[in-house]
Amino acid sequence: MRFLHSLLLALVVAAPFPALAVSSMEERIDKTIDVLEQYGKAQGDSIPREVFHEAKGLAVLWVIKAGFIVAGEGGDGLVVIRKGNKWSHPSAISAAGAGVGFQAGGSSQDYVLLLNTENAVEQFSQKGNYTSSAEVEGTAGPVGRELSAGVATVNAPVYTYSFTKGLFGGVSLSGLGYASADDTNENFYGQRLTPKEILDGKVKKSPEAVKRLWKALEQLDKKPKIEGKTPTKDKKN
């Protein structure tokens, strides 16, 4: 069983699901902006502001699970990193994985990955396929409007969150492999660039969609901390 799972994962990472991961960069950006806006509106259980502000980079993924007996996962996303007090151009990524189990039908899930270290940023700046590792899988991130006094902002290279119905919950995201979506990047920027070149600003043009993404990110960076304690689930704001 372990051999079969490893074989399936290797096959999927080598050729991420074309039927499930076909978004253009514009679609990826629009989806990311929607997730960011939902985060900006979120109250109570959410990504702590301090954690978001301290992140060195951000990846947003939407993963589709589908299959029967052999369950597969495929998804699209993008990565941006902080460049001083600004954000980089986005680089497109894809994700894929496989598992064995009696599953039918399909479902989709949005994920937010906060890249907390330079090593994590480097992992997501690679060209081609890169399998899941400790630097990429991440740890379930802390949840709450603000961190409690004395709690460290960063305890892992990557914090991962799932986004469902306006709520952000910390999750452990494992078993996925990632790849740079080079054709998507080339179609969008009109240049054949590596992910690192894109994130380092070697892009000749900044399409309007990128400017919309920057605006959404900058608005979150300017958002002040929420005063008061994190409400419990049985209380209303």
Residue among 197, 219, 15 nearest 98 (CA): 15
Q: Tell the burial category of 230 from Cβ atoms under 10 Å away from its Cβ (0-12, 13-18, 19+).
A: middle
Give per-residue pLDDT as tens, 100-155: 333 344 456 788 899 999 988 998 898 887 765 555 556 777 676 655 554 556 67
In angstroms, what CA-CA distances link 97 with 3, 9, 26, 44, 73? 14, 5, 24, 32, 5
Weakest mean pLDDT among 26-35, 153-162, 227-236: 227-236
- pTM exceeds 0.85 for this model: no
Give per-residue pLDDT as tens, 161-193: 887 665 666 666 666 778 899 999 999 999 999
Q: Is the pLDDT of residue 15 over 80?
A: no
